[in-house]
């Protein structure tokens, strides 16, 4: 159970990115964050794993306030929180396998890292993760040789390596075309359903939100403006969605259902 209470973030330049945001996410939830660009989605996700230090508020996760953690405690907490980025954030010149292995750094000693070593279990785990995401053949390619969809799968594999209990996904499919968007979302859904990982994911497209989320929160100018469950989302019309979301909202496209089924078969 993640409970965010009165979360506020004011950047050094005075920008107030989050204003007193409170919500809670039960374990195993697939929560989607919607909101215009600039509404504070990235800031909120980065506050949870403390890539950004919140100005005020509590982030209680399994009884621990993440906002107060420092040093090793913070790193140990981070190990259990995977993160997936819009621009994948892979080390482009390193091999795919190396990128995936970096997901294990939280479990690796500095000394071994200095020597560039990972345990053989870790390597095996990395290959299994790559296999699970269908990109085992790419393991020894440089990350920048892969297509966008493949790179995001490497990003998912890296998060998977952490054995996370929760995954933060910051617009994971915003730089992908619709078909790829669905395939990545299906991997996230798989991790959510099969492995029981809590998912907090910011998204742009209403049909993706309706298709994958179990709950939704909406941000606008750093304020929480919407909270809804699965039923609310399915009942939501484009008009309502746009109201919260603004004019940017769009659907991925309806002609894709056929593709989706085929893909879903491939993933399972």
Which of ligand ADP, other proteins, Mg ion, none does residue 39 bind (CB under 5 to 8 Å by kind)? ligand ADP
Using the rule CB under 8 A, which residue among 30, 61, 88, 212 binds other proteins? 88
Specify the stretch interacting with other proteins by CB under 8 A; choose among 19-27, 154-162, 208-216, 218-226. 154-162
Rounded to the nearest whole angstrom, what is the least distance from the CB of residue 214 to ligand ADP in the complex? 21
Specify the stretch interacting with other proteins by CB under 8 A; choose among 98-106, 122-130, 173-181, 221-229. 98-106
Q: Which stretches of the chain are DSSP H helices?
A: 41-48, 71-79, 96-101, 110-114, 120-132, 148-161, 178-194, 206-212, 230-235, 238-245, 257-267
Which single residue is written with the structure tokens 């994948």?
A: 88
Token pair listed for 17: 């990115």
Sheet of 2-10, strand order: 16-25, 2-10, 56-61, 64-65
Closest-approach residue to Mg ion (CB): 42
Closer to other proteins at the Cβ: 201 or 236? Answer: 201
Using the rule CB under 5 A, which residue among 2, 21, 42, 126 binds Mg ion? 42
Closer to Mg ion at the Cβ: 170 or 189? Answer: 170
Token pair listed for 137: 């053949």
Residue 116 DSSP symbol: T
Token pair listed for 68: 């107060």
Residue 43 engages ligand ADP in binding (rule: CB under 6 A): yes
> How far apart are the C-alpha atoms of 170 and 174, rounded to whole Å?
9
Rounded to the nearest whole angstrom, what is the least distance from the CB of residue 32 to ligand ADP in the complex? 13
**Residue 106 contacts by C-beta under 8 Å, 6 or more apart in sequence?**
75, 76, 78, 79, 162
Which single residue is written with the structure tokens 């374990």?
A: 27
Closer to ligand ADP at the Cβ: 118 or 226? Answer: 226
3-state secondary structure of 23: strand
> How far apart are the C-alpha atoms of 242 and 206, rounded to whole Å?
9
Using the rule CB under 6 A, which residue among 41, 78, 125, 153 binds ligand ADP? 41
Rounded to the nearest whole angstrom, what is the least distance from the CB of residue 18 to ligand ADP in the complex? 8
Using the rule CB under 8 A, which residue among 116, 255, 258, 265 binds other proteins? 116
For other proteins, the binding residues (CB under 8 A) are: 49, 51, 75-79, 81-83, 85, 87-94, 98, 102-108, 110, 113-114, 116, 155, 158-159, 161-162
Question: By the criterion CB under 6 A, which residues form the site for ligand ADP?
Answer: 11, 13, 15, 17, 35, 37-43
């Amino acid at each position: 159970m993640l409970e965010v209470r009165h979360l506020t973030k004011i950047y050094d330049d005075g920008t107030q990115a989050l204003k007193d945001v409170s919500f809670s996410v039960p374990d195993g939830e697939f929560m989607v964050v919607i909101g215009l660009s600039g509404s504070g989605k990235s800031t909120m996700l980065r506050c949870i794993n403390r890539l950004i230090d919140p100005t005020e508020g509590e982030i209680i996760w399994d009884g621990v306030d993440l906002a107060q953690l420092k040093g090793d405690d913070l790193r140990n907490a981070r190990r259990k929180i995977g993160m997936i980025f819009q621009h994948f954030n892979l080390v482009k010149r390193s091999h795919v396998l190396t990128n995936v292995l970096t997901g294990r750094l939280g479990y690796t000693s500095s000394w071994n890292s200095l020597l560039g070593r990972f345990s053989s279990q870790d390597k095996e785990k990395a290959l299994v993760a790559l296999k699970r995401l269908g990109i085992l053949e790419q393991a020894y390619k440089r990350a920048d040789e892969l297509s966008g969809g493949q790179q995001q799968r490497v990003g998912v594999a890296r998060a998977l390596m952490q054995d996370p209990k929760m995954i933060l996904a910051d617009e994971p499919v915003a730089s992908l075309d619709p078909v790829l968007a669905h395939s990545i979302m299906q991997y996230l859904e798989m991790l959510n359903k099969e492995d029981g990982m809590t998912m907090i994911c910011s998204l742009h497209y209403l049909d993706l939100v309706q298709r994958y989320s179990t709950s939704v929160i909406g941000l606008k100018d750093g304020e929480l403006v919407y909270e809804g469950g699965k039923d609310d989302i399915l009942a939501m019309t484009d008009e309502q969605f746009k109201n919260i979301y603004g004019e940017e909202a769009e659907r991925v496209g309806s002609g894709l259902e056929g593709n989706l089924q085929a893909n879903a078969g491939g993933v399972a």
